[in-house]
């Protein structure tokens, strides 16, 4: 954080050891656990004489943050699955929760870009075919695509269709099982 500052507290050695054990159990550093505790306390209380201003209004419009407890082996699975999707664990859980609550099957960025590229390719082929059709309707001298050209365009379209279909099926399967691979 560029505008952050340091907060320090002195505690007994036993309290520090217990705090560190809780942090490890939560999968956090001591600093991250302390920061979380400070933020929770500050979000739940307001100093006397301080009224809600524009900053607190903005805060209520933002997404609500909450924490969950996970077993260590589940945390490892979460990190791995999030990494496979190119997401942070928090973003992965957020997307997965939203998808579950709203009945969505989200596409990660890379998969969405692949679909967009396929759509662009199909658009290009469609524009070319439209130009040929318009020229034929105007009775212009048109050299229609040959049989091999049409077969090639058809193979491209079928290949794109099959690729997008497989991509979407893999995406649906991976959000249900947690793996993007074919043996999911």
Query: What confidence tens digit (pLDDT) does each residue in 33-52 have?
Result: 888 888 777 776 666 665 55
Residue 24 has pLDDT above 60, yes or no: yes
Greater model confidence, 108 or 88: 88
Rounded to the nearest integer, the mean pLDDT of the chain is 76
Q: Of the candidates 99, 80, 88, 94, which has an alpha carbon nearest to the alpha carbon of residue 180?
A: 80
pLDDT the model gives residue 30: 85
pLDDT band (50, 70, 90) for residue 55: low
Q: pTM above the 0.85 mark? A: no
């Amino acid at each position: 954080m560029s505008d952050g500052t340091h907060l320090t507290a002195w505690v007994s050695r036993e309290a520090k050891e217990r705090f560190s054990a809780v942090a490890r159990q939560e999968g956090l550093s001591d600093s991250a656990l302390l920061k979380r505790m400070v933020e929770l306390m500050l979000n739940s209380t307001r100093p006397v004489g301080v009224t809600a201003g524009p900053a607190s209004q903005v805060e209520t419009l933002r997404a609500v943050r909450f924490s969950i407890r996970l077993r260590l082996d589940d945390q490892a699975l979460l990190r791995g699955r999030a990494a496979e999707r190119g997401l942070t664990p928090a973003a992965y859980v957020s997307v997965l929760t939203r998808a579950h609550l709203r009945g969505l099957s989200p596409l990660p960025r890379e998969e969405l870009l692949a679909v967009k590229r396929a759509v662009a390719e199909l658009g290009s082929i469609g524009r070319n075919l439209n130009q040929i059709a318009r020229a034929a309707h105007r009775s212009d001298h048109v050299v229609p695509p040959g049989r091999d050209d049409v077969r090639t365009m058809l193979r491209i379209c079928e290949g794109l269709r099959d690729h997008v279909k497989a991509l979407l099926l893999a995406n649906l399967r991976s959000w249900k099982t947690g793996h993007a691979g074919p043996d999911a």
